[in-house]
Chain A
Amino acid sequence: MIELRELSKSYPARGPAVRGLNLTVASGEFLVLAGPSGCGKTTTLTMINRLTEPSSGTVLVDGVDARSTDPVALRRRIGFVFQDIGLFPHLNVAENAGIVLRLLGKSPAEIGARVDELLALVQLPAQEFRDVFPAALSGGQRQRVGVARALAASPRIMLMDEPFGAIDPITRDGLASDYRQIHERLGLTTILVTHDMTEAILLADRIALMREGRLVQVGTTNELISAPADDFVRAMMESPRRRSEALASALRAGSRA
């Protein structure tokens, strides 16, 4: 379980990025943190594993204050998937996927066996991919390795920062639904950041909507659509439907022409 209490972050140059945010994510929940660019959702995410230090407020991970935990140990316990993937280009797929295990001092045999499991989990056949370097992989394959790397030390919590944003649309859908299955199978607690409301609605148990550093509303898709807190929430929640209607009409117009 993750609890954020009165969490704030402000930068000297840019001013406040996150203002007094309160949010509780239950174990096993898939929470999507959504909102327009620059609303503070990535800052909120990175404060959970202390890649960003909060200016004030508290992060509780399984009831323990993150500030009292060594940040390095904390990060090894929490999986993190980056928007720009960030695979280590000089290490092959197996070495990338197994890096956290190496940091934890596991034996090579142990790491090798676990890496095979992980690659199977993200649907990259180990035989074929283990010795390949990141430069030779497609964007989708790279992020599969990114997910495998985050899962290596069997974390209970996964933080994902627009993980599918840099990947082409067709691959993106497959990758997102594959991850949702992994989330279910392993019973993970996942917080995923996105600005894509369609992706949010398709993946989330609950959606937390942010604007200008503040949490506007949290709830299931149905709650947010049926009882939006304000016009911003309504507009955000309606945007996928509006777009698909616009799309349908454009397609009809195209078929008439």
Chain B
Amino acid sequence: MSGDAGTFAAAFANLPDYLGWHVLLSVSAILIGVAISLPLAILCVRSPLLRASALGLASAIQTVPSLALLALFYPLLLALSAFTRASFGIGFRALGFLPALAALTLYSMLPVLRNTIAGIDGVDPAVKTAARGVGMTSRQSLWIVELPLAAPVILAGIRTAAAWVIGTATLSTPVGQTSLGNYIFSGLQTENWIYVLFGCAAAAALALIVDRLLALAEDGVVKRSKARLLASVVGLLIVVGASLFPLFASAGGKPIVVGTKSFEEQYILGALIEDRLRDAGFQTTRRDGLGSTVIFDALASGDVDVYVDYSGTVWADDMKRTNLPGRQVVLREMAAWLERTHGIGYAGPLGFENAYAFAMRRDRADALHIDTLADLAARAPQMKIGGDYEIFTRPEWRAVERAYGLKFGVERQYQANFMYRAVASGDVDVISAFSSDGRIAEYDLKVLSDPKGALPPYDAVLLVSPQHAKDAALIAALMPLVHALDLRTMQRANLAADRAIDKRTPDDIARGLDVEIGTRAMKR
């Protein structure tokens, strides 16, 4: 149980940062949402045409899956930022706070819009006629009669919006905004269920407290109790103030942003880079769990300063190259291309590859006499393949399909952890594994060889944003990591994060690696 206690301690240590951002994001989204929805709803009450279009649009937004809505704002803001930079010389960060804020603001609008309209519509017509009859202008009728009478319904709408926003804000982690979702996403990736539960519980507790306080305000309005209203406002201010305090208390210079993609190896490497930079006296912050194209664009635009990518990914996704001239040539041409087209700095390779590797259970592969991808092709139509969320749409997959004429009976997509379990349990026959994954050895999987050389090399490489490409101190701080991690070391580190028993946190593993690298460097 000491391991669990350690995990809890680690979770609590992150709470001020995660909670602070979560509250800042939610409160901003709700305030802006209400500031837009209230006046819009008032206009809607007077104009049937506007009402139909505004409610229609808000409902349509609500049907977009929340994660997709958050993700859509990134390219949108990126294009906008490029435009403003070109037109006015001022760009802004397209990753992190802004896309999350924009999506959550949209989400908060429907309940406020709908309830405000319903609340004003619901005011007794006799009372509205009386308001006109005693000589109120339509504005006076709105402010003195209709809005106060609609207030409980409007507040109920704000309550709904707050609950939705606080819940959905956990999804802002993948667009690079720190939130309580960081617990959930990193916990899900590393199968750290304590983290997942911690994140869920923290978000639920926050939503519940805010909901109760807003209910108190609603009650205060209905019962005309100024004391309740005041208690609610004070309570909300305390919650928001206490959550935000650590954020502003710790604000210093502009930190170096270390980015990670959404799997264990990346979390470990992110922590390792952060440790290195902190040792060298840099302030750092993390943007965890970013999508693989998102993170490259983020580096190019300076939203992320350092991260580890893989040469084959850059080669195929960003350079759109399909030929495979060999591992060293790929590295060389990639470095030149990064510098030339984006001004991105290349610090060097870490020393291991995390390549796509098609793997089967050893007993099954041996029984079927399958050693290579060519052997696999003959059996593929009767087989099921499991892949991660990306593989089947990636150029590597098409290259392998073309080279070997692979055609599987069934293709399934899994979150990485479940993919390994699926092949181990026989749910699928083959998986698109990753060569640095510790679970290949743990589950005794056989990696099929690629005699035609259809799969590109995937050297782990350290990339630096254009702003810091010439930052000698930063590059120097990163240099000890170059060529410092061989495949076996990385597999062991990954397994320590993946395994069910004696699981360790990425931060903990990174500290171990740091010591190992340091010792090795001293021996050299």
Determine which of A75, A77, A89, A133 lies in contact with B133 in the assembled complex, contact meaning CB atoms within 8 Å.
A75
Q: Which residue of B lies closest to A152 (CB)?
A: B134
Cβ of A100 and Cβ of B134 under 8 Å apart?
A: yes
Which chain B residues border A77 with CB–CB below 8 Å? Answer: 135
Which chain A residues border B124 with CB–CB below 8 Å? Answer: 86, 89
Bound Cα distance A51, B128 (Å): 12
Q: Mark A96-135, 1 if CB is under 8 A from B, else 0.
A: 0001100100000000000000000000000000000100
Cβ of A80 and Cβ of B134 under 8 Å apart?
A: yes
Bound Cα distance A99, B133 (Å): 12
Interface residue ranges, A against B (CB under 8 Å): 49, 51, 72-77, 80, 82, 84-90, 99-100, 103, 133, 149-150
Q: Which residue of A lies closest to B132 (CB)?
A: A51
* Most-contacted residue by chain A among B126, B127, B131, B134 (CB, 10 A): B134
Q: Which residue of B lies closest to A77 (CB)?
A: B135
Give 13 new A-B contacts, CB below 8 A, not counting A80-B134, A88-B130, A88-B149: A49-B133, A72-B136, A75-B135, A76-B134, A76-B135, A84-B126, A85-B126, A85-B130, A87-B127, A88-B144, A90-B145, A90-B149, A100-B134
Bound Cα distance A72, B127 (Å): 16
Q: Which 9 pairs show the lowest CB-CB distances between chains A and B?
A: A86-B130, A76-B135, A75-B135, A84-B126, A80-B133, A86-B126, A90-B148, A100-B134, A72-B135
Determine how close the nearest CB of chain A comes to the CB of B121; give it in whole angstroms: 16
Given contacts A86-B129, A86-B130, A88-B131, whether A72 and B149 have CB atoms under 8 Å apart is no
A-B contact pairs, 27 of them (CB 8 A): A51-B129, A51-B132, A72-B136, A73-B135, A75-B132, A77-B135, A80-B134, A82-B126, A82-B130, A82-B133, A85-B126, A85-B130, A86-B126, A86-B127, A86-B130, A86-B133, A88-B130, A88-B144, A88-B149, A89-B124, A90-B148, A99-B134, A100-B135, A103-B134, A103-B135, A133-B224, A149-B134
User: How many of B's residues come within 8 Å of A, CB to CB?
Assistant: 18
Bound Cα distance A87, B149 (Å): 12
Which chain A residues border B144 with CB–CB below 8 Å? Answer: 88, 99
Bound Cα distance A183, B491 (Å): 98
Given contacts A76-B135, A89-B149, whether A103 and B130 have CB atoms under 8 Å apart is no
Bound Cα distance A132, B194 (Å): 56
Q: Mark B130-152, 1 if CB is under 8 A from A, else 0.
A: 11111111001000110011000
Determine which of A72, A80, A84, A89 lies in contact with B137 in the assembled complex, contact meaning CB atoms within 8 Å.
A72
Q: Mark B146-183, 1 if CB is under 8 A from A, else 0.
A: 00110000000000000000000000000000000000
Q: Which residue of B lies closest to A146 (CB)?
A: B130
Determine how close the nearest CB of chain A comes to the CB of B219; give it in whole angstroms: 15
Which chain B residues border A149 with CB–CB below 8 Å? Answer: 134
Q: Which residue of B lies closest to A84 (CB)?
A: B126
Q: Which residue of B lies closest to A83 (CB)?
A: B126
* Most-contacted residue by chain A among B135, B136, B144 (CB, 10 A): B135
Determine how close the nearest CB of chain B comes to the CB of A193; give it in whole angstroms: 14
Cβ of A103 and Cβ of B136 under 8 Å apart?
A: yes
Bound Cα distance A133, B224 (Å): 11
